[in-house]
Amino acid sequence: MRTLLRFIQKYSSLFLFLLLEIIAISFMIRGSHYQHSKLVGLNRQVTGYIYSRVDGAREYFSLREENLRLAEENADLRNKLDRIVQKTDSALVFSELHDSIRYFFVPARIVHNSVYKQYNYITLDKGKKQGVFRDMGVISDRGLVGIVLESSASFSTVIPVINRDFRLSAKIQTNDYAGILHWDGSSPRYAMLAEIPFHVELSKGDTIMTSGFSSIFPEGIRIGRIESFSLEKGNFYDIRVELFTDFQHLFHVNVIRNYRQEEQRNLENRTR
């Protein structure tokens, strides 16, 4: 208490000056409409600035929840779109509703991701409890990501495009010629497309997408664009593909569940 009294006594002149200033400003504002409007405008400007900063900070800290919500919404929209597309297929007109739904999309968040190794892997926060199993396709909002390698109860690992063991049938959008997509380990931004014959007409910028020649991915998933090509190895092009998916800034994905995958594989195995 004594310390407080000493503090007040020491700065009493300053406190008195501030009090008189406040009283003087108050009289001045009350006596002048112009000064009053200016102060109100300044007050609004200051409070607006503070509110915008506070709201920006609140928005920043809620980005994680917002991203999760958007990922779930995207997956739901993909599921609805797939139902619409399948219903319009004339071969499925007389099928039951559950038979017409071929693909289901499960939103997932990446909890671990390696980019600069020769054999990169991704870990997702969804597993068998959420319907994620081995050999399911994984995509992002920009395009192809990889294939589920293994899954536990609540997690799963993915072999991405940027893994030396990755192989997938892919085609050129402009002419439907299909080849094998693989990664040469040089950069996480590029992959290679092989087995495209020399007589095929190519152009830089042509879009590369999934061919649909597997039970993992539907046809038409975007992969990347042709960055360059050459004929250094005989009768087939060496095609360098710039990937649409940026693996260094990848946080949310969708896992593709093909309800007819097992049926297709069983038939192919019996045929072999």
Q: Flag the least confident range among 31-35, 57-61, 81-85, 235-239.
A: 57-61
The closest of 248, 246, 181 to 208, measured between CA atoms, is 181
Q: Are residues 57 and 134 in the same domain?
A: no
Number of domains the chain contains: 2
Separation between Cα atoms, residue 111 and residue 102, nearest integer Å: 28
Q: Are residues 148 and 14 in the same domain?
A: no
* % residues pLDDT > 90 (the chain): 48
Q: Are residues 115 and 172 in the same domain?
A: yes
Output the pLDDT for position 231: 87
Domain limits for position 14: 2-61
Quick check: 222 pLDDT over 50?
yes
Q: Are residues 33 and 144 in the same domain?
A: no
Output the pLDDT for position 156: 93
Specify if 80 maps to a domain.
Answer: no
Q: Cα torsion at 39, 42, 47, 48 (round to 10°)?
A: 140
Q: Write the pLDDT tens digit of every residue in 40-59.
A: 555 545 544 554 455 455 44
Q: Are residues 123 and 205 in the same domain?
A: yes
Specify if 87 maps to a domain.
Answer: no
Task: Find the angle CA(64)-CA(67)-CA(73) to the nearest 5 degrees.
Answer: 145
What's 218's domain CATH number?
2.40.10.340
Q: Are residues 20 and 148 in the same domain?
A: no
Q: Flag the least confident range among 16-20, 58-62, 213-217, 230-234.
A: 58-62
Output the pLDDT for position 90: 43
Output the pLDDT for position 184: 95
What pTM was computed for the model?
0.66
Higher pLDDT, 30 or 118: 118
DSSP 115-174: -SSSB--EEES--GGGT--TT-EEE-SSSEEEEEEEE-SS-EEEEESSBTT--EEEEETT
Quick check: 189 pLDDT over 70?
yes
Q: Are residues 121 and 240 in the same domain?
A: yes
Output the pLDDT for position 50: 56
Specify if 271 maps to a domain.
Answer: yes
**pLDDT band at residue 82 under the 50/70/90 scheme:** low
Q: Flag the least confident range among 10-24, 102-116, 126-140, 206-220.
A: 10-24
Specify if 6 maps to a domain.
Answer: yes
Residues 179-183, mean pLDDT to the nearest whole number: 97
Instruction: Give the chain's radius of gyration (CA, Å).
Output: 31
Task: Please enumerate, as own/partner, the contacts of 193-199 that have beta carbons within 8 Å and a separation of 24 or more.
Answer: 193/226, 193/237, 193/239, 193/241, 194/236, 194/237, 194/238, 194/239, 195/236, 196/172, 196/236, 196/237, 196/239, 197/235, 197/236, 197/237, 198/231, 198/235, 198/236, 198/237
Output the pLDDT for position 22: 74
